[in-house]
Structures are given as C-alpha cells and as structure tokens.
C-alpha cells in the first residue's frame, strides 16, 4: 500500500471489522473515510455495479462510474481476471490490493498525408487514407477491494478505493481503462509498505488458500501438488 487514501480506508475498514472477517455495510460512515472520500467507490453485489464513486475517480478516468459494471472498467485482456478478483473478495470476504496501469484505449488516428514519391504511392489508387493506432500514455495506480457484510446474506457490497500514482493536471477528456498488473491478498497483519509487494496477477490467480502467515498455491508447471510459502 503506497497511496495515502488506500492506507486511510484500509485502516478504517480494519478497525471496524475487529476480529470479524469484514464489517457490516451499515457500519461505514463517510466521515470515517476523511480526505480519501474522493477516491472511494461502492459496488452493489452480486451484480458488481457501481453504486457511487468519488469525484477524483471520475477526473482520473474521464467519466462517471455510477451504474456502470465493474468489468467495463478494464481492458479486454484484464477483464476476466479483474472480475474473478471481485468474486473472490465477495465469496471469501478477502480484501485484495490490485496493481493497475491506467491508460486510454488505443486511439485511431488518420495516417499522415505523404508527398509524391513517398511509400504511400504503393497504396492502391483511390483508397482512403489508412488509419494507424497509437498507444496512449499510461500511469500506474492501485485499487483496494474490501468486502462489506449484510446480515444473513453474506457480502452485500464491496467498498473500493482507486488511486492513480499521479492525478492528471486536468480531468481526463477521454474514457480511460484499467490493466491489471498485480494482486495481493491482505491479512490482518497487513501494513503500509514502501514497495507494493504485490503478487503478479498470473501467480495470484493460482492462490487457493491462506493459513495464518502461509499462502497456498495451486501446483504449477505441470505439477498437481500444492505449493506453500510464507507471506
């Protein structure tokens, strides 16, 4: 955890839950979130739709999220993993910290008009100018997903925080999407650290359980055995 808002919200949520897996959704008081409120969002479960989102999230992503599906935030290559992470938070009452890359989707630009004698003369006569795609600039970020319990119904909502490493100087003018770069399950002993200490998402998807300070991974590289390491 590196961003101040991530630290504030996790500490507040952790304090509320005490010895329970997660606090009740009715226990969350916006005043307890303090200066982090602009970075906070709330998801209705099991639909996974944004019930509300903070103003700084809209500025960073270039659009309002209320009513949008969680999966719609992500690039195609990251969507399935991100939706699976949300399912784990809800089903297992496990808080997760995600590492992000925040970027615009590739934006089409008309190809430049070349002068006579350039390679453009090799195109078939009479065709329209070609379209090229340029990679938009990206910035790193973090997302925190925290379960909230509804009595007798399990996880009714997920409290989240979304923070880019640096806010844009002006609000984003094009919708931006998220790429998933890493994932980390947060235990009771989780503390803010200098480094993110996140598990690469490809490895995180093989986590099948945690026992105290130990993390159990599904066997990899053709092995059916389970592998255990200290967190």
Domain range annotation of the chain: 4-106+137-201
Q: 48: which residues sit within 8 A by CB, 6+ positions away?
A: 69, 70, 71, 83, 86
Q: How far apart are CA 7 and CA 30, in angstroms?
A: 16
pLDDT at 219: 53
**How confident is residue 175, by pLDDT bands cut at 50, 70 and 90?**
confident
Which tens digit of pLDDT belongs to each residue from 71-101? Answer: 999 999 999 999 999 999 999 999 999 999 9
Share of the chain above pLDDT 90, in %: 44
Q: Is the dihedral of CA 21, 22, 27, 33 positive or negative?
A: positive
CATH number of 4-106+137-201: 3.30.450.20
pLDDT at 172: 64
- Residue 4 tokens, joined: 């101040």
8 Å CB contact between 1 and 193: yes
Range ranked top by mean pLDDT from 2-6, 44-48, 199-203, 214-218 = 44-48
Which tens digit of pLDDT belongs to each residue from 116-172? Answer: 443 334 344 444 445 444 445 568 899 999 999 987 778 889 999 999 887 666 666
- Residue 108 tokens, joined: 């089409």
SS3 content of the chain, % helix, strand, coil (to 5): 25, 35, 40
Q: What is the DSSP letter of 157?
A: E
pLDDT at 165: 84
Per the listing, tokens 């599906």 go with 69
> Which element (helix H / strand E) includes 91?
helix 76-92
Which of helix, strand or coil describes residue 27?
helix
8 Å CB contact between 25 and 157: yes
Point out which residues pair with 100 in neighbouring strands: 141, 180
Q: What is the mean predicted confidence (pLDDT) over 63-78?
A: 94
pLDDT at 104: 73
Q: What is the DSSP letter of 207?
A: E
Q: What is the mean predicted confidence (pLDDT) over 201-215?
A: 48
């Amino acid at each position: 955890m590196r961003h101040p808002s991530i630290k504030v919200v996790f500490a507040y949520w952790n304090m509320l839950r005490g010895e329970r897996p997660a606090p009740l959704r009715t226990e969350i008081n916006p005043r307890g979130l303090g200066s982090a409120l602009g970075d906070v969002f709330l998801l209705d479960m099991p639909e996974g739709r944004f019930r509300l989102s903070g103003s700084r999230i809209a500025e960073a992503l270039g659009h309002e999220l209320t009513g949008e599906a969680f999966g719609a935030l992500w690039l195609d290559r990251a969507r399935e993993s991100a939706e699976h992470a949300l399912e784990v938070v809800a089903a297992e009452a496990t808080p997760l910290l995600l590492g992000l890359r925040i970027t615009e989707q590739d934006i089409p630009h008309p190809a430049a008009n070349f002068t006579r004698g350039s390679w453009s003369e090799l195109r078939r006569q009479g065709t329209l100018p070609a379209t090229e795609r340029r990679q938009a600039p990206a910035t790193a970020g973090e997302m925190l997903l925290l379960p909230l319990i509804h009595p007798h119904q399990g996880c009714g909502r997920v409290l989240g925080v979304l923070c880019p490493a640096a806010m844009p100087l002006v609000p984003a003018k094009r919708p931006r999407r998220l790429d998933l770069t890493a994932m980390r399950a947060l235990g009771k002993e989780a503390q803010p650290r200098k480094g993110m200490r996140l598990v690469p998402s490809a490895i995180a998807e093989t986590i099948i359980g945690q026992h105290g300070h130990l993390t159990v991974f599904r066997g990899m590289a053709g092995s059916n055995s389970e592998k255990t390491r200290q967190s």
